[in-house]
Structure 1
Amino acid sequence: MKTLRRVLFPLAIFPFKSIVNAQKKDSIPLKVRAFFADKFPQNRDLIVDFTQTAPYKFSSELQGADLPDNRVKSFQQIRAGANIYFIKKKNWLLGTSLNYRYTSMNTEHPVEPGAGKQEKNFHYHTEAVNFNYFSRLFNKTAIYTASVSVDGSNQHFERARGTVTASVILKATPKTKMIIGIAGFIDPSAQIPVLPIFTYENKFNNGWVLDILLPKKMLIRKDIFANGRISLGTEMDNTNFYLYRNNRTYEFRQVEINSGAMYEHNLGGNFVGILKTGIRAVPRARVFDKEESFKDYIFEAKYQPSFYLDVGISYNPFGKPRTK
């Protein structure tokens, strides 16, 4: 994966999971609607969550010079997102994705020499228009997507990006689903301009389900109680925002590997409560000039793993209650 999920998994890629059951061309619209009506859909139409991590230490360097070891005393995030489809036709879908993230970090010592304030608050948002087209390729259902997005801070819009993908459903049975594909990124800051995609889901006889979407996640999950589901495994996430220094714009990016457990509970009325916890590992974080790429960084940090807790709630207008 790119080291950042935002470049690896723009929202245009997410519809893959919403059409994995569409093996026949004439049934695509019905299968899409059926997926969104599932009690635990892959794409949440509306979602809000809060993340808190335990304190953790990190080492860093600025313009090639090592800085003293430091410590993040507190890290919190509030995120809100919406996935909305404007038009649903037999062979294509048109929609939008809207996301906002507020990040608050409090370090023990100033990251920048001479800086006086350790606590920093950042606002980041993205808006995208997504187009999905379904057709046939080698007698298999093929999905083509295109996405155009912009992002920015509370001060400015900063960057425009594009994503195109092509994928083929190799298998779609009640027990097993498999998709292969490729994604291309129109973004000068992307670390990897082209990325392979692999999706696999398998239902075992004991009720557990293996859910893989590479390189984003590897999970096993199972329905429990009357309206719950537990998932165990690893997911990748990211944090990024813009910084303004000396009349220049910089971007901060870090990839996060979250390993642990997630519990989801259907609260009724199409609301789903979400609780995640485990260990978060951050291989590296970088700051680079917006006009440059991720590899041309001026600041890099390496963090120790930390405990994290995430609490959220989603609302899915197309959902419907399901009983066992």
Structure 2
Amino acid sequence: MLQSFLKTVLLIIFLPIYTFAQNKDSIQKRAVAFVADKFPSTRILNVEYTTLSPYDFKQKLDGRDLSENKMKNFQQIKANANFYFFKKEKWTISTSLNYKYTTLDAKDNNSNFGYLSEKNNFHYHSEAITASHISSLWNKMAIYTATFSVDGNEKSFERARGFLTGSLMLTANERTKLILGLAVIIDPSTQVPVFPVISYEHKFRNGWIADVILPKRVQLKKDVFSNGRIAFGSDMDISSFYMNKNNKTYEYRQTEINTGVTYEHKIGAFIGTVKTGVRSVPVARVFDKNDSFNNYLYQARPKSSFYINFGISYNPFVNKKNK
């Protein structure tokens, strides 16, 4: 689930708020305007396609420098569904289903790990179930969650993980929303097992909105035309997939920072999205699935490349005043 856990953070925090806000005249009701707007952070159903321009990458195998290689083609198709299926008083149980298909074609110079030197296709899936509880702490709304997830490829399930969060809504009014929290990942392969979660959104009087969700994204966005929105900024994601070699299973994992422009357009309950800009990957590694990310066999440092992404999503949570 690592490549999608940042999106799951948004689901964990915002979906319970929406669920309990509909019939309350409290801070939850003021918070719902940020969740059920034209362009919600978490989409119930989403499909997207990404392609990158060719790029070079430096590489190491078992600590030994290899000759520079070139990625000629890199494409991904992602699909995910996020929804809740149980609600009672202050409890919800929600689920996140994710699938990713990656195709890549690197220049074959017989110098790298063997899976990145020719055209390959990789399937990846993850499934998560989350129990959420909303209560109050210091007269503020508090959200507590526990998530269990599994992931794998088309052949088998490969890893199970746990994910715990606790967050506090410090401010929620017509102009500003601030949520602070802490997340814990129960997984020996994770790079950062404990990290803060910060969500800040502020609507300026000129129509621009500052949207900061750390460690996920930093953006400035504004509604344009009658049903459109444009955004500038950076968004971080984690991509991974599993590979089988010599009767062992390895994981390829990379952190992606996409910086550029996003345009979204709403038609009914559907939202079309176009994104383009520059993708930076600080490091990509291959490691035994039973080891940690820091105990790697192969490492690549790709140069920046241009990306373009097309997506369509469906979300029935519509704020009527924004229709």
TM-score (normalised: structure 2)? 0.92
Where does structure 1 lack aligned partners over 5 or more consecutive residues?
A: none
Code of the aligned partner of 1:72:
M
Residue number in structure 2 paired with 1:11: 8
Q: Which moved more, 1:313-322 or 1:286-295?
A: 313-322
Residue number in structure 1 paired with 2:122: 122
Is the 1:283–1:303 contact (alpha carbons within 8 Å) kept by the matching residues of 2? Answer: yes
Measure, in 2, the Cα distance between the counterparts of 1:15 and 1:28: 18
Taking the TM superposition and a 5 Å limit, the aligned residue runs for 1:44-123 are 44-109=43-108, 110=110, 112=112, 118-123=118-123
1:316–1:280 distance in 2 versus 1, CA, 3 Å: same
Measure, in 2, the Cα distance between the counterparts of 1:32 and 1:225: 25
1:250–1:178 distance in 2 versus 1, CA, 3 Å: same
Q: Per-residue displacement from partner, 1:78-102 (whole Å, max 9, x unpaired)?
A: 0000001102233121111000000
Is the 2:252–2:284 contact (alpha carbons within 8 Å) kept by the matching residues of 1? Answer: yes
1:68–1:252 distance in 2 versus 1, CA, 3 Å: same
User: How many residues in Structure 1 have an aligned counterpart in Structure 2?
Assistant: 319
Measure, in 2, the Cα distance between the counterparts of 1:308 and 1:116: 19
Code of the aligned partner of 1:249:
T
Code of the aligned partner of 2:185:
F
Measure, in 1, the Cα distance between the counterparts of 2:39 and 2:280: 26
Measure, in 1, the Cα distance between the counterparts of 2:34 and 2:143: 16
Alpha-carbon shift at residue 131 of structure 1 (Å): 1.2
Code of the aligned partner of 2:58:
S
Alpha-carbon shift at residue 267 of structure 1 (Å): 2.1
Measure, in 2, the Cα distance between the counterparts of 1:52 and 1:58: 17
Code of the aligned partner of 2:133:
Y
Is the 2:53–2:306 contact (alpha carbons within 8 Å) kept by the matching residues of 1? Answer: yes
Matched, 1:175 2:171: no
Matched, 1:298 2:297: yes
Measure, in 2, the Cα distance between the counterparts of 1:48 and 1:237: 16
Taking the TM superposition and a 5 Å limit, the aligned residue runs for 1:268-307 are 268=268, 270-307=269-306
Alpha-carbon shift at residue 280 of structure 1 (Å): 0.2
Where does structure 2 lack aligned partners over 5 or more consecutive residues?
A: none
Is the 2:11–2:82 contact (alpha carbons within 8 Å) kept by the matching residues of 1? Answer: no
Measure, in 2, the Cα distance between the counterparts of 1:223 and 1:95: 30
Q: Per-residue displacement from partner, 1:178-231 (whole Å, max 9, x unpaired)?
A: 111101111010111111111110000000000000111000000000100001
Alpha-carbon shift at residue 34 of structure 1 (Å): 5.9
Matched, 1:189 2:189: yes
Measure, in 2, the Cα distance between the counterparts of 1:114 and 1:306: 22
Is the 1:29–1:89 contact (alpha carbons within 8 Å) kept by the matching residues of 2? Answer: no
Alpha-carbon shift at residue 37 of structure 1 (Å): 3.8
Alpha-carbon shift at residue 67 of structure 1 (Å): 1.2
1:12–1:197 distance in 2 versus 1, CA, 3 Å: closer
Is the 1:51–1:77 contact (alpha carbons within 8 Å) kept by the matching residues of 2? Answer: yes
**SS of match in other structure, 1:16:** helix
Residue number in structure 1 paired with 2:225: 225
Is the 2:285–2:299 contact (alpha carbons within 8 Å) kept by the matching residues of 1? Answer: yes
Code of the aligned partner of 1:206:
N
**SS of match in other structure, 2:3:** helix
Residue number in structure 2 paired with 1:141: 141
Code of the aligned partner of 2:188:
P
Residue number in structure 2 paired with 1:41: 40
1:47–1:7 distance in 2 versus 1, CA, 3 Å: closer
Code of the aligned partner of 2:132:
N
1:264–1:114 distance in 2 versus 1, CA, 3 Å: closer
Q: Per-residue displacement from partner, 1:23-69 (whole Å, max 9, x unpaired)?
A: x9764776677655422111100010000000000010111111111
**SS of match in other structure, 1:14:** helix
Residue number in structure 1 paired with 2:243: 243
Q: Which moved more, 1:176-185 or 1:106-115?
A: 106-115
**SS of match in other structure, 2:13:** helix
Taking the TM superposition and a 5 Å limit, the aligned residue runs for 1:251-270 are 251-268=251-268, 270=269
Measure, in 1, the Cα distance between the counterparts of 2:113 and 2:169: 53
